[in-house]
Structure formats: C-alpha cells, structure tokens
C-alpha cells in the first residue's frame, strides 16, 4: 500500500494526518515522521513513502536535496524551498511548494490579479512563496521585512504608508510586531499565515490562515497522490 507522511521537527501537534484522512476518506496511511535529523528523515521517505509533506525546519534542506538529483520548476527555484516531495514515474523525486500554490488559489478565488496591489509582510519561507504567487498573477507586489534583502524591499516602518494602497495584505510572520498597530481601519483583505495564534483577526476583511492551509491541501495533495481531493475540506 502506498504511504504518505510529514517530516519536520517538532510535528507532534500537526493536524496534517487528520486533514489528509478527511481529504481521501482514510484511503491511505499518513504518518508523522518525527525527527531532528533531516538526513534520517529524508532516508525514511526514500525507503518507505510515495510522497511527503515537509515543514520547518526542513523546507530549504529538502529543496537543496532535490536540486542534487531531482526536479523542481522555476516557481520553486524562485522560492528556494519545497514542502512536498514526490517520487514520480520518471524515477526522480520532484519538489513542489504548496505555500505558493495555496496563496495563488486564494488570490484567484478572490479575483486578485493584474491591477491589484498585494503587500506581503515578512520574507521567510511563507513570505517568499506568497510574493512569488502574487507576482505570478500579475499583481503589483510590495514586500515589507525587517531585513532588506533587495533594494526594492521596504522596511516594516513603512507599513502605515504602504497598507492604504494595498488591496490585500498577507502577513506571514509568526508573532505580532508593533508596526501592525498602525493598520487600524485598513479596509482591504487580510490573509494571516498563523492560524493557531492569530494577531490580525479583528481587522475587517480578515481571512484566517486555515483557508491557506485548506488551499494548500486542495492544490498539494493531488500532486502527492495523483488523485483529486475526494472530500470537501
């Protein structure tokens, strides 16, 4: 029987097994492959699983592993991280990023595209994926981050100036920052990655990170199983 799972650390709290079971009515097993050692976790995937999800802190390590002898597309290269690895029919491990796919789906569902302005706060793995997804749809994409990795990246102190021109704000940091207090009255859509302890839920137009998680499953699970999601999530 084909097996699926999740690697990362710590992952005991993960809801992924329940979400996967619901998506496919329990058709396939889905394991939490717990471990601090990436190489051991990756080898367990190669030895016994068709496909895996990947979470912190292994997304960039897995990306580099797939680059060595597998396959990733240009969108994944731009992000530099994967959260899905699949053994494909060509004999290679293919890497995908459902953070990217999930945000892209949410933006499309809500009609954002050319002519829309998206403000992404944070530029870790989720922020990079959100920015890449926004750009792929032709949105004017602005990135705010504490560290300015590129000349066009804006400092967090400018959030109050940039937010009023944005149609959507995507907040990818795991904790609140003082600058977010400047968003009172922001009228655009707000997507927050952290759905366990959100900090922006009081804003109008708020979209819980649970919808991002759902969109990741809808777009990512078919890549893993070769089958569309069978049950509404």
Cis peptide bond upstream of 57, omega within 30? yes
Place of tokens 């952290």: 194
**Cα gap 192→170, rounded to integer Å:** 6
Question: What would the two tokens of residue 68 be?
Answer: 């060595």
**Cα gap 37→11, rounded to integer Å:** 13
Classified as helix, coil or strand, 45 is: helix
Question: What would the two tokens of residue 157 be?
Answer: 């102190």
Classified as helix, coil or strand, 183 is: helix
Percent helix / strand / coil, the chain, rounded to 5: 40, 20, 40
Are the C-beta atoms of residues 16 and 53 closer than 8 Å to each other? yes
Q: Is 87 a residue of the active site? A: no
Active-site pick, 3, 22, 59, 128: 59
Give the residue numbers marked as catalytic.
59
């Amino acid at each position: 029987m084909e097996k699926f799972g999740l690697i990362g650390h710590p992952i005991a709290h993960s809801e992924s097994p329940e979400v996967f079971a619901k998506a496919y009515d329990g058709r396939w097993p889905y394991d939490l492959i717990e471990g601090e050692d990436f190489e051991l976790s990756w080898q367990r995937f190669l030895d016994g699983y068709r496909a895996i999800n990947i979470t912190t802190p292994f997304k960039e390590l897995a990306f580099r592993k797939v680059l060595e002898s597998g396959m990733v597309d240009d969108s994944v290269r731009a992000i530099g991280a994967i959260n899905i690895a699949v053994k494909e029919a060509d004999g290679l491990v293919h890497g995908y990023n459902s953070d990217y796919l999930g945000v892209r789906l949410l933006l499309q569902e809500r009609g954002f595209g050319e002519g829309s302005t998206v403000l992404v706060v944070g530029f870790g793995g989720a922020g990079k994926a959100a920015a890449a997804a926004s750009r792929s749809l032709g949105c004017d994409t602005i990135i705010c981050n504490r560290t300015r990795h590129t000349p066009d990246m804006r400092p967090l102190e400018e959030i109050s100036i940039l937010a009023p021109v944005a149609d959507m704000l995507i907040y990818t940091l795991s904790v609140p920052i003082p600058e977010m207090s400047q968003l009172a009255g922001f009228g655009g859509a707000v997507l927050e990655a952290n759905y366990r302890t959100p900090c922006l839920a009081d804003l109008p137009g708020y979209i819980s990170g649970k919808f991002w998680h759902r969109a990741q499953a809808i777009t990512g699970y078919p890549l893993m199983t070769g089958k569309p999601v069978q049950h509404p999530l």
